[in-house]
Amino acid sequence: MKIIMYGLSTCPHCQNTLKFLKAAEADYEVIWLDELQGEEKKKALENIYSITGSYSVPLCIKGDKRVFGYDKEKLEELIK
């Protein structure tokens, strides 16, 4: 199952999370919120808020598991 990562291209924590996923050779897809527009952006933000109660990123999702923020230990568990 693919990991979906929501982030901002200008966010250092998002960049660290992306580097971690790449280094771990994880199966992932990144949704850069600052590159979305209109309804697509609105839906992505609503999804993030429904999961975390905020609009903060990075957020990684795999099935029913979530990792909020850059947390190496939790990301390792998510990849397994």
Burial call 26-57: b when 16+ CB within 10 Å, e when fewer: bebebbbbeeeeeeeeeebeeebeeeeeeeeb
Residue 5: predicted pLDDT: 98
Query: Mean per-residue pLDDT for 9-18?
Result: 97
| Across 43-47, 50-54, 72-76, least confident range | 50-54
Structural domains in the chain, CATH included, are 3-79 (3.40.30.10)
Residue 39: predicted pLDDT: 97
pTM above 0.85, yes or no: yes
Percent of the chain with pLDDT over 70: 100
